[in-house]
Amino acid sequence: MTAIDHAHWAAYLAAGVDERLELPAITKQVDELSIADAYAIQAALLELQLGRGDTLAGAKLGLTSVAKQEQMGVSEPCYGWVPASTVVANGATIDLAELIHPRCEPELVFVLAQDLAGPGVTADDVLDATAKVVGGIEIIDSRYEAFSFTLPDVIADNTSAARVVLGTDGIGPRDHDLAAIECWFDINGEQVGEATGAALLGDPATCVAHLANHVGQAGLKLEAGWHILAGAVTDAKPFTAGTTATARYSVLGDVSVTAV
Ligand code: OOG
Ligand code: MG
């Protein structure tokens, strides 16, 4: 079997981002793409972005809710990075000319006060290391044709990460049972989804612990000040021209973003 050229596939995906291209999935073009190779492509893609002057603002989990796993036909969580250039403020407007075929989804976001790195990180450790939890909306934009992929494809593509909208309010990590936080997701004022924090593997802090343990395996850490996305609690909706997406959270307040 031919070895996977990580730098080649990273450049392939970077061109998708830069030129707003829908690309054939990598797994349609190689004999086999292992999870390890997929994370190596993701790392090479991040290196390309950091080499252009971007910095890291956080990290993310994907496919941590049954709603998302069923929507995408992939039954395991995945991990990726949040470049600083992709973070936008609550109420922002996003120009669709910068994206391919974006979707929007409501997220719970942990803002870290301390570094976190596995092995052995628990949900309790996550709460100890967290400054606050805020509501968010992630704009995902798979670089693959028809937004269709296998688990290794979506890992290589930095888990479809495109933009993150951060809520303005927030709570201390132990101010409230995070699994009990409610989220109502509206598109243009009409409710299209509803879930609680428990949708994320039963407990959002457990998701962040998995991510800390994952990056620890590569000798990396989640850093103080970073924003960590625990995953979408509902399925994602199309983010098309004129769409205003609003995620309304109990105790966390509202987050919204508009596509133009
Ligand atoms: C993969 C990314 C999933 C989430 O929150 O579940 C994700 C995708 O659905 O394109 O970010
Ligand atoms: Mg997401």
Contact call for residues 231 and 68 (beta carbons, < 8 A): yes
Q: Which residues pair with 78 in a beta bridge?
A: 62
Contact call for residues 123 and 170 (beta carbons, < 8 A): no
Amino acid at the residue 81: W
- The protein residue whose alpha carbon is closest to atom 11 in ligand 1 is 62
E strand or H helix that includes residue 240? none
What 8-state DSSP symbol labels residue 133?
E
For residues 19 and 104, give the distance between their C-alpha atoms in angstroms, rounded to a whole number: 21
Parse the chain into domains and list their residue ranges: 6-259
Q: How many CA atoms lie less than 13 Å away from 227 in the CB half-sphere?
A: 26
Report pLDDT digits (tens) over 102-130. Answer: 999 999 999 999 999 999 999 999 999 99
Q: How far apart are the first and last CA of the chain?
A: 46
* Residues lower than pLDDT 50 in the chain: none
C-alpha 22 to ligand 2 mean position (Å): 19
- Mind spelling out the 3-state secondary structure of 121-172? CCHHHHHHHEEEEEEEEEEECCCEHHHCCCHHHHHHCHHHEEEEEECCCCEC
Q: Which fold has domain 6-259?
A: Fumarylacetoacetate hydrolase; domain 2 (3.90.850)
- 49 touches ligand 1 (CB under 6 Å): no
Amino acid at the residue 78: C
Ligand number, closest to the Cα atom of 76:
1
Contact call for residues 96 and 126 (beta carbons, < 8 A): no
Report pLDDT digits (tens) over 217-246. Answer: 999 999 999 999 999 999 999 999 999 999
Ligand number, closest to the Cα atom of 79:
1
pTM above 0.85, yes or no: yes
Q: Which pLDDT score is estimated for 116?
A: 98
What 8-state DSSP symbol labels residue 30?
S
What is the sign, positive or negative, of the torsion defined by CA atoms of 135, 239, 19, 13? Answer: positive
C-alpha 89 to ligand 1 mean position (Å): 20
Contact call for residues 147 and 101 (beta carbons, < 8 A): yes
C-alpha 107 to ligand 2 mean position (Å): 6
Atom of ligand 1 nearest to the CA of 149: 10
